[in-house]
Structure 1
């Protein structure tokens, strides 16, 4: 029996078992040594204190074809040092293009069955948004042109332990190669791809350990030790096994310990327990020097502060995290939908033919949602535009630890308000609750081209009638003006205040805009081809949301990489402190991704001219 399982089993028989520090995960315990390095100087450790910042050796990262690009022999030696986990994969969609990689059967599988499996999550290259890669090898049944590498990395380290990550970081730093970090590929801003790069793929760091009693500072309770490659559906299966709850991403195939957490991380229960970043009690991190460190409230406190909410893959690479765990939570949910149709349509319970009535109904739900959030609940919905200024509104409200009958009663005042607006819908009966942490399976979508823009709308907008009316007007205008109905509105409503964040969540770098948030408002563009014209149009509509929320912010994970004044929008008043941490911990500029802290010091020379694409060389800006 494994040692951690012995402790778990013993705790069931000995209630007084003292709180204990968990063992290291096996993947964290396997580290790079001087013996591993030997005379291979390309993977030697760095020293932050010895760097003279104004004497950096190059204005650009080394690129394939450059004289300084590592030789085949050097790549081979790196591979040998890390036990053969260095990959040089081809883009999966190459199977659909005429050429040496053409495979009709493989192409058919990608087009018809891959998204009904875990295939795309297990691909070492792909990000689920193609435009940020440059769309140089898009998946298509009859593709035009050639499949080229574009923004995909040149090499990938399939990391299954800290040693692999340390060697990759050291090699990239010493050879001046662009380094990127990828887990599942749920990346809508170009942060897990990059032309001419070496990628650290953390997807297979899958260890999980239940800790029945964990103490650190004022925290005493259950905890979970999770590898950074663990996906939400795997966390849910873990919760089910141990009869516990961990705050995890709402989408089952999103990783809970990587980029989701490090930018904040919202989900169904964040109005009750706080954001993903608020759950962290300890972190395992590989720094830019190649060192492996523990960061917690008392050790490496700068990293512990910065990584929890200050953005991913910029201060170090997270290998594992210890999360708070809670008793089981049951969720009662209520759904609502109605449609604005043409005046000639036949009215029905869910069919509205008057535009003013429709938008009043939308506003009634969104304003009522403040009460849902104050009760620890969550809202999730969309406004989809149709032809001829028709719309469909759909949303759900979820209540942790509220019985179905209590949730039904809670929602009734909303339906009374809707009836006063002549929207006569029945309050739907909630027949049962569902366990947060029910078992699931990981099924991932195919790569697409959706582009997100977001705004965190504060509670002040709900508390002033004039500001509220301006907010709904902005949402209405923004949703009504998209290209060929490809623009749509997505709202997640959650309230992760400092009070629910608790300790040590209240000491993190989470964007302060989250603490007063009511609505994470998103404008989304689902077009197959993104363009500068579409960007310009969307920016006009996003400005309407910015105007009604001055000084607020945006959520980096579902934000626009072209966000104006992104330092303030994504990080708020924390930016200056975070930049100090970045410069101290990574004076070489090893870690870079768009709109991460310190990223203004570099830029990508985009090949196709579309903003946000990562298919060009990375060079310094002189900032």
Structure 2
């Protein structure tokens, strides 16, 4: 039997690792690990060879298939499992997301490697990453970087690569007087290892009586792709994007150097990491980010399940109210549950909240919904009681596309009418949209200080559309779903032609990714930084800065429109 099957979860002795991996395994102390699919314990065949089913482990996988905690702790798992598979060839090892206990998903089916690399390094120090870069440069084997697997784009996977897993870089420290290296000035800050998730950091920040401005799901890594790709928060209208709040990175660049990047050291790299995207300029070991004193805030929580008969009225209220909500500092989410908004400005009272959202609250109450206005004394209890029950589900086969919708679209009657019609079309064709109202509307931004698309600074909505794949459907059916998402984003682009897109939630077949994610001026500068720190092109991912031809990523399925 293949040694990989025998040692699927153990460190591999150099003697059983085939060249050229044997030398690497020896260099890192025998800690090279076999990468195996998350669902493998449930299958009797692996890569078309017979293996034993592990009923106990299989039951654990089935029970945790739709849970972020289980997926975070497995190198083989992504939050959306189609990115574990090679969609173009149907090479996969998946359970039925609609029913993980469905026996037909396993009976007589081979669990195949999909997009997973054959081996990975469970990174514990910067030296591990340096060895990975040395290995890649000499062997010409590409690299892929995974943290938690909260990845809507498949960039954490590449077949035939060596995997770098940063999830166990879990250090956390708080400093009320942090000074970036070689700089002046002190800041209230938390230093976050690359593998720390928002769930961990929110608890840590609460224990130190400070507020960390972060994302809306427990499974996101706070120093990874979220931070580097333009991650945002419901507090971003007031406090800015993640890239606005990072003070310093510790990063191994592909030339093998462990660097500090901040405003005073390697400032070009610091700029690029603030929006240029993860898995592109280096492997971040830790980051240091600004935190706020404990923040109390007002909460508007309105539940209403919009039906077709009232959809136009609902969207008219929401679209017509959004500009005034944004200008007052409200941030939140609009989705199938209704809407949840928060405001941390001390000048905004509960009475202000009730007045600002009266029309939509009255609408919800008149149509069988609920409307609650409360004050939260700090972030953690709100996150646990309100966010976690409504966070995006995992384990499903989800395709995203998005567009940033400028404030200007909300400023005229014609612009608002266009948006209402877009919302009705999207609801009818793709289902109810998800709208993070998380752009930095009030944040005092220094022009050119970050690499994200300038559209973030002029927009009010981050409008998201979602397509759903069906387990084990044909390539042609899946391509049609990707095509439907592409077409819907095209409709968004028609309404907001001079805007951009959130890098981490763009659709895979974005028409003009360089312009959409960064803008042409930013992209030209990002490419210069990329070539400086990665002259051999060791880091490459689909539609990233400096990305090679799509043929380098053969598992993406394509689309039909």
State the TM-score bracket (shorter-chain normalisation).
0.7 to 0.9
SS of the equivalent of 2:463 reads strand
Query: Which position in structure 2 is the counterpart of 1:253?
Result: 219
User: For 1:108, what is the secondary structure of its paired residue?
Assistant: helix
The alpha-carbon distance between structure 1 residues 603 and 470, as it changes in their structure 2 partners (threshold 3 A), is same
Q: Residue in 1 aligned with 2:352?
A: 409
TM superposition shift of 1:228 = 1.0
Task: Check if 1:508 corresponds to 2:456.
Answer: no
Aligned partner of residue 202 in structure 2, secondary structure: helix
- Candidates 83, 90, 93, aligned match of 1:137: 93
Give the 3 Å change call, closer, same or farther, for CA 432–161 of structure 1 in structure 2.
Answer: same
For 2:7, the equivalent position in structure 1 comes to none
| Residue 394 of structure 1: aligned partner | 338
1:87 aligns with 2:33: yes
Moved more, 443-452 or 418-427: 418-427
SS in structure 1 opposite 2:304? Answer: strand
Is the deviation greater in 163-172 or in 369-378? 369-378
1:129 touches 1:188 (CA, 8 Å); kept in 2?
yes
Task: Choose the corresponding residue for 1:480, options 421, 428, 442.
Answer: 428
Structure 2 equivalent of residue 541 of structure 1 = 488
Instruction: Give secondary structure in 1 for the equivalent of 2:526.
Output: helix
Aligned ranges for residues 547-558 of structure 1 at < 5 Å?
547-558=494-505
Match of 1:597 in 2: 545
CA contact under 8 A between 1:283 and 1:296: conserved in structure 2? Answer: yes
- 8 Å Cα contact 1:126-1:152 kept in structure 2: no
Which runs of no fewer than 5 residues in structure 1 stay unpaired? 1-69, 342-353, 384-392, 613-623
CA offsets 1:534-582 (integer angstroms, 9 cap, x no match): 2222322221111010110111111112111111111113111111111
How big is each residue's C-alpha offset from its partner over 1:405-446, in whole Å with a ceiling of 9 and x where there is no partner? 923432334424775999578983434414114596999965
Equivalent in the alignment of 1:203: 167
1:455 aligned partner = 403
Counterpart secondary structure, 2:317? helix
- Check conservation: 1:184, 1:203, Cα contact below 8 A: yes
SS, match of residue 429 in structure 2: coil
2:42 paired residue number? 96
Residue from 149, 170, 189 that aligns with 1:223: 189
Q: CA RMSD in A?
A: 2.8
1:586 deviates by 1.4
Task: Report SS of the residue matched to 1:476.
Answer: helix
Question: What's the secondary structure of 2:212's corresponding residue?
Answer: coil
Distance 1:582 1:520 in 2: 27
Change in 2 beyond 3 A, CA 1:426/1:127:
closer
Decide whether the 8 Å contact of 2:399 with 2:485 is kept in 1. no
Residue 277 (structure 1) aligned with residue 228 (structure 2):
no
- Which residue is equivalent to 1:381? 334
1:333 deviates by 1.5
Label 1:292 to 1:165 Cα distance change in 2 as closer, same or farther (>3 A).
Answer: same
Residues 315 and 423 of structure 2 are in contact (CA less than 8 Å); yes or no, is this contact kept in structure 1? no
What residue number does 1:468 align with? Answer: 416
Match of 1:180 in 2: 144
Alignment match, 1:191: 155
1:402 CA drift (Å): 5.2
CA contact (8 A) 2:209 2:294 kept: yes
What is the CA distance between 1:449 and its match in structure 2?
0.9
Aligned to 1:8: none
Contact 2:20 2:139 in 1 (8 A): no
Structure 2 counterpart SS, 1:489 = coil
Which residue matches 1:244?
210
The separation in 1 between residues aligned to 2:544 and 2:257, in whole angstroms, is 21
Task: Measure the CA separation in 2 of the matches of 1:223 and 1:506.
Answer: 23
Which residue number corresponds to residue 5 of structure 2?
none
Structure 2 CA distance for aligned equivalents of residues 126 and 444 of structure 1: 16
Q: Alpha-carbon deviation of 1:511? A: 1.5
The 3 A distance-change label for structure 1 pair 541 and 215 is same
Deviation (angstroms), 1:137: 0.7
- Structure 2 vs 1, CA of residues 381 and 440 (structure 1 numbering), >3 Å: closer, same or farther? closer
Q: What is the match of residue 77 of structure 1?
A: 23
Structure with the larger RCO, 1 or 2 (CA within 8 Å, 6+ apart)? 1
In structure 1, what is the equivalent of residue 316 of structure 2?
A: 363
Taking structure 1 as the reference length, the TM-score comes to: 0.77
In terms of Rg, which structure is larger? 1
1:158 matches 2:110: no
How many correspondences in the alignment? 513
Which blocks of at least 5 consecutive residues in structure 2 are unaligned? 1-15, 46-50, 97-101, 472-476
